[in-house]
């Protein structure tokens, strides 16, 4: 393919991209929008290319909330390794996140959150902030008004119990004998989503040991009645699920007294082996901070000293979650997202017109190929005969590849003009085979496991924070369907089952629920491009309903936005919120896939992206548009504000990636997946 160099940026665009930029448009307004989009895409491309790591990957900061920072300090206090530099850097960041009313929220401009505020307050006490200082007094007063420590979630009270600020006997029981439950038995560890499983197994050890380190100070100011800090919680009716599980928990507390010591010790040893077997090469567990924290505590309680190789590497891995900022503060990432960021960046760059064989794209492809997971993990418990062939989210996470990353990596690799196409084809074929093998029985796909839909884990008194199961979702299923269409499998019966599930899951207003992004805009922005890639015409009733919904929620400024409160207050907040770059891009990606290139809604959205772009080619996005657990745990992926707007601008300027030939709908007979 010949190429044309844009002298203003140094980025080389393919000839068809240059031709598209010169196309005469129907109205002066449209021509102005096209020109603005072209300039914005060029600047965004340069911005993104300049931020690729020398090894070929991209990674933006993954911002969550200050519980990560608070729990990191509490861990260091518990292990006796807390140092002043780390403490003060963390405290600086935590203070910077406090709001005027004295609280901390779990997402930008969200409401004050009780447990988050308690943990932040305790961390600042560790850093030396006195309870009578104005910012601390304001926080403690707010905490007391909302029920104090007694009203906080279980995980917060576990952290406090480690120092005697809460009684272990007033926490839900989590017996280590769970490790022995067979997979057919309710509440076995594989009934939990992988992120919950990695946390619960070490916490069974902590729950059994009930350790208490001397508290460095009292927390009387966080109780509504310091004389009675552990008030009993009322029991729900025995006829309700909540009441039944509360009584089960009471039974487990009694069982604790009679469990043979030899059995308990054996169960804890089995849990320790399970934990150690899942430690990654970099010392972490699953590339996620919370399981790493609890695993270190559990192993320490079982006698592993801090110099043991497992412990030494585990503790060292925690430092890799730290982001040191220019002002000297220190933010902890709950996770790191290089595979996800890299495949999304590659898709954005190619869709925006960068030549498929551009050296930086080839380097990105080489890095992604090197990250393929070629050994079984926990997913093989449900699919023991399925050959591996997926990708995880993080740098090191061989036990938990995920279906979403695997689909998007395949879509990214298929776009790159690599010097070893046979290697690419084989890797993509393995990805297709693995994803097809991970299809749930309802025809859809979850993120990590097959048919992870047990109704029981979420009902446990212990599980009062976020999702602990991994049922199929519309966004993950859509990405798999799009990948299968790109591999010529749009008419495969397994793909059609996924499409049928998506059509049945459409909301009455025309949107789709977004499990891993906020929220209905993300779901809809994922599903519509997948359905059209699989051959549904833009005139299909489901797509027309989606278009009508997106047009109805467009903001007056031309952008789109959705607040995280839509997860809790659907009617009031669905598709509503301040305009953001990533959510505007998702809406545009859906509208463009539906054939709305010339619509006023698209023009206004593209213009909003062009108008809000910063001079350096980036966008500002303080709002959280990523989802860990709907409502409970939110994420601001710092690269979302870059990759998705560039993808949308590229598709506006150059058209659908299938129509352009970036992705080929190959005949079914040409596709090898076995």
Catalytic annotation, residues: 404
- Tokens standing for residue 442: 């309802």
- Tokens standing for residue 575: 């598709």
- Tokens standing for residue 132: 């009578």
CB 647 within 8 A of CB 587: no
**203 alpha-carbon distance from chain centroid:** 22
DSSP-assigned beta bridge partners for residue 330:
324
DSSP state of 489: -
- Tokens standing for residue 527: 């599903």
Distances (CA, A) of 104 to 68, 93, 114, 147, 369: 13, 12, 8, 16, 41
Q: Please, is 88 exposed, middle or buried when counting C-beta atoms within 10 Å of its C-beta (0-12, 13-18, 19+)?
A: middle
Nearest to 61 by CA among 333, 351, 429, 433: 333
Report the phi/psi class of residue 75: left, alpha or beta, with left for phi > 0 and alpha for psi in -120 to 50: alpha
> Whats the size of the chain, residue-wise?
674
Strand 330-332 with 626-629, pairing:
unpaired
Strand 3-5 with 626-629, pairing:
unpaired
Nearest to 439 by CA among 484, 392, 391, 494: 494
Compute the distance between CA of residue 436 and CA of residue 163 in angstroms, rounded to an integer: 48
Compute the distance between CA of residue 461 and CA of residue 240 in angstroms, rounded to an integer: 13
DSSP state of 14: E
Phi, psi torsion values for 544, nearest 5 degrees: -65, -40
Q: What residues contact 449, with CB distance under 8 A and at least 6 apart?
A: 190, 193, 194, 378, 379, 382, 438, 470
DSSP state of 388: P
Longest Cα separation, the chain: 82
Collapsed DSSP state (helix, strand, coil) of residue 72: helix
Angle, CA of 396, 399 and 402, to the nearest 5°: 85
């Amino acid at each position: 393919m010949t190429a044309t160099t844009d002298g203003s940026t140094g980025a080389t665009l393919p000839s068809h991209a240059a031709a598209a930029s010169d196309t005469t448009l129907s109205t002066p307004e449209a021509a102005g929008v096209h020109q603005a989009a072209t300039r914005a895409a060029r600047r965004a491309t340069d911005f993104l290319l300049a931020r690729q790591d020398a090894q070929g990957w991209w990674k933006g900061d993954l911002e969550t909330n200050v519980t990560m920072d608070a729990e990191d300090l509490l861990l260091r206090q518990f292990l006796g390794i807390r140092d002043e530099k780390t403490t003060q850097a963390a405290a600086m960041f935590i203070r910077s996140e406090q709001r005027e009313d004295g609280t901390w929220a779990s997402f930008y401009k969200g409401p004050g959150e009780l447990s988050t505020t308690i943990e932040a307050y305790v961390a600042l006490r560790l850093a030396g902030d006195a309870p009578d200082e104005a910012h601390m007094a304001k926080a403690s007063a707010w905490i007391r008004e909302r029920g104090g420590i007694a009203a906080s979630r279980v995980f917060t009270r576990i952290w406090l119990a480690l120092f005697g600020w809460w009684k272990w006997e007033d926490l839900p029981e989590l017996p280590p004998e769970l490790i022995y439950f067979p997979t057919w038995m309710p509440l076995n560890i594989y009934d939990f989503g992988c992120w919950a499983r990695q946390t619960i197994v070490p916490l069974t050890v902590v729950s059994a040991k009930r350790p208490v380190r001397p508290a460095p100070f009292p927390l009387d100011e966080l109780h509504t009645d310091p004389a009675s800090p552990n008030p009993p919680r009322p029991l729900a009716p025995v006829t309700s699920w909540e009441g039944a599980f509360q009584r089960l928990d009471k039974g487990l507390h009694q069982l604790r007294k009679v469990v043979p010591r030899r059995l308990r010790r054996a169960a804890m040893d089995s849990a320790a082996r399970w934990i150690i077997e899942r430690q990654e090469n970099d010392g972490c567990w699953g590339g996620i901070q919370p399981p790493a924290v609890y695993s270190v505590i559990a192993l320490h309680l079982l006698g592993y000293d801090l110099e043991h190789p497992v412990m030494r590497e585990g503790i060292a891995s925690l430092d890799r979650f730290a982001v040191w900022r220019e002002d000297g503060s220190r933010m902890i990432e709950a996770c790191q997202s290089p595979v996800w960021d890299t495949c999304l960046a590659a898709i954005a760059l190619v869709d925006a017109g960068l030549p498929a064989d551009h050296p930086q794209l080839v380097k990105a492809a080489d890095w992604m190929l090197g990250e393929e997971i070629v050994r079984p993990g926990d997913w093989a418990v449900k699919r023991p005969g399925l050959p591996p062939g997926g990708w995880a989210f993080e740098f090191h996470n061989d036990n938990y590849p995920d279906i979403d990353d695997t689909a998007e990596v395949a879509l990214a690799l298929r776009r790159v003009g690599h010097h070893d196409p046979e290697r690419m084809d084989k890797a993509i074929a393995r990805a297709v085979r693995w994803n097809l093998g991970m299809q749930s029985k309802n025809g859809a796909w979850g993120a990590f496991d097959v048919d992870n839909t047990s109704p029981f884990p979420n009902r446990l008194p212990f599980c009062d924070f976020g999702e602990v199961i991994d049922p199929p979702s519309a966004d993950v299923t859509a990405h798999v369907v799009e990948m299968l269409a790109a591999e010529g499998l749009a008419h495969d019966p397994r793909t059609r089952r996924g499409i049928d599930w998506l059509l049945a899951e459409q909301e009455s207003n025309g949107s789709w629920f977004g499990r891993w992004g906020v929220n209905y805009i993300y779901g809809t922005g994922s599903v519509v491009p997948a359905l059209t890639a699989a051959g549904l015409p833009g005139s299909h009733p489901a797509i027309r309903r989606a278009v009508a919904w997106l047009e109805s929620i467009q903001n007056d400024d031309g952008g789109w936005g959705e607040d995280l409160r839509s997860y809790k207050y659907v009617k009031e907040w669905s598709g509503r919120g301040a305009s953001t770059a990533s959510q505007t891009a998702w809406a545009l990606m859906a509208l463009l896939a539906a054939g709305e290139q010339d619509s006023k809604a698209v023009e206004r959205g593209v213009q909003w992206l062009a108008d809000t772009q910063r001079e350096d080619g980036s966008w500002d996005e303080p709002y959280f548009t990523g989802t860990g657990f709907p409502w409970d745990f939110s994420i601001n992926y710092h690269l979302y504000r870059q990759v998705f707007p560039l993808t949308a601008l590229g598709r506006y300027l150059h058209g659908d990636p299938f129509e352009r030939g970036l992705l080929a709908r190959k005949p079914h007979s040409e596709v090898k997946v076995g």
